[in-house]
Structure 1
Amino acid sequence: MTTHNTIPVSRIPKSTRLTPYIMSLKRAKEYSISDVRRCLNAQPGQITPTECRRICKHARLRELTKNPLRTLQSYKKEMQICLRYGNREAHYVEGMKQYFALRHTRIGMRHFKISARKHFDQGNYLLGLLKLVSGDHNEGMKILDIFAWKKKTRTVDRLWMQLKQSLREIQIIKLKSYGTNQILLMPSQTCNPSELNKRCTKCFHYKEIEKFLQLVYRG
């Protein structure tokens, strides 16, 4: 009688039962900063590293883009992991904090460029303005042309209002070069400099700088 050695079969462990929140998170079309926080606090087995990476990379950070200074005291872990995975809004927020609040302009500009390369409109718009006021007019104009303002200014007007909200609690340092670089773009007298909402191809960039300088010179 032939005997056969029995090969032990390893027991396949049951997958961790997911909570209703994690299940809904997987089906969500949009993630928020709260989802990033819950992802960081999830128990082992509740969510995979790939899923966590997707959440942190694509999370919308509206609370922070409206008030970047909140990241000086809070949301540090959330910002770290979002930056690690290339979240474009996190780079915009970090750029605002570094460039305007901490006055680390090189670091801030690097984050703005990353945000712009990832096609975040607010990052592109602000980068274009900073290029204009710093004297790199050709590059600034090229960036702002992305928004097709010659046809309609609706997009740049919306982005300006969002930028104005982001900067409302930030004290911007006045640089002499800002005014000098604006003068170099001054249009002819046919364009009224005081009517900022009336812009043509000759005065558009000059007036975009003027709106920014009104924030700079506010006090």
Structure 2
Amino acid sequence: MTSIPVMTKAAIHDRVYKNMQLSILTEHPLTSLTSYTDLMSKCLQAGNPEAPYVKGIQEYFHHKITVEGLYHLHLATKGSYQNAFYLYGIVMLCRGEMEIGKNIFEKLEWQHCKTTAENCWKDIKRSLHGIHVETLPCYIATLKTVKATITCHPCTKMSRCNSCFFYKQMRKFVLFY
């Protein structure tokens, strides 16, 4: 933006930063740790929904500052960013916060179309590529607890009814890394 005078003039306004597409940073969140720091800061201040998603991944997974990471991921859900709904929801489910996680997943309308959740999962795998994602003990404990309550088909990968949907999403997340 700074190389094109018209863009520089437009970039003064917060609405530009609020609506700016940050797809390159959502796909590679660690990039903004060394580059684009000023842009990220302005996007965060302007309320861009993708900026707290990137910041949340950096803090929660890379820096291991879970409280701040969860705060930023939660902020990203307020901006209706679907990948933020999925990531925040799955992290909360895995941490044992089942009601919060399920409520967040409801916004993805997974009961009507499970494809949205699958697409979000693919994007999140891309975002977390190259980041060491630690499997926390609470993830394993929650996964075991949830599996024990499933009465349908917990071992079949393709079938995901309302009873086992959350377990299978959690299992993918925990066992992926």
TM-score by length of 1: 0.74
* Deviations 1:95-139 (CA, angstroms, capped at 9, x unpaired): 111110011111111111111011111111111101101111011
Equivalent residue runs for 1:151-166 within 5 Å: 151-166=112-127
User: 157, 163, 166: which one pairs with 1:202?
Assistant: 163
Q: Does 1:104 align with 2:65?
A: yes
Q: Does 1:47 align with 2:9?
A: yes
Distance 1:180 1:57, change over 3 A: same
TM-score by length of 2: 0.91
User: 108, 115, 119: which one pairs with 1:147?
Assistant: 108
Identical aligned residues as a percent: 28
Shift of residue 42 of structure 1? 6.0
Q: Does 1:95 align with 2:61?
A: no
More RCO (CA 8 Å, sep 6+) = 2
* Deviations 1:52-93 (CA, angstroms, capped at 9, x unpaired): 311111001111111101112111111111111111101100
- Does the 8 Å CA contact 1:196/1:211 hold for their aligned counterparts? no
Report the equivalent of 1:7.
Answer: none
Shift of residue 41 of structure 1? 5.6
* Deviations 1:14-62 (CA, angstroms, capped at 9, x unpaired): xxxxxxxxxxxxxxxxxxxxxxxx1x56659x6257x631111100111
May I ask how many residue pairs the two structures share in their alignment? Answer: 176
The 3-state SS of whatever aligns with 2:146 is: coil
User: 125, 128, 152: which one pairs with 1:190?
Assistant: 152
- Does the 8 Å CA contact 2:10/2:16 hold for their aligned counterparts? no
Relative to its length, the structure with more helix (as a share) is 2
Structure possessing the higher radius of gyration over alpha carbons: 1
Report the equivalent of 1:22.
Answer: none
Distance 1:112 1:153, change over 3 A: same
Q: Does 1:171 align with 2:132?
A: yes
The 3-state SS of whatever aligns with 2:13 is: helix
Q: Which runs of 5+ in 1 are unaligned?
A: 1-37
Equivalent residue runs for 1:48-63 within 5 Å: 52-63=13-24
Q: Which runs of 5+ in 2 are unaligned?
A: none
Equivalent residue runs for 1:63-102 within 5 Å: 63-102=24-63
CA distance in 2, matches of 1:64, 1:43: 23
CA distance in 1, matches of 2:111, 2:10: 46
Q: After the TM superposition, list the runs of 4 or more consecutive aligned residues in structure 1 that deviate by more than 4 angstroms.
A: 40-44
Report the equivalent of 1:118.
Answer: 79
Report the equivalent of 1:29.
Answer: none
**Paired residue type of 1:142:** N
The 3-state SS of whatever aligns with 2:30 is: helix
The 3-state SS of whatever aligns with 1:169 is: coil
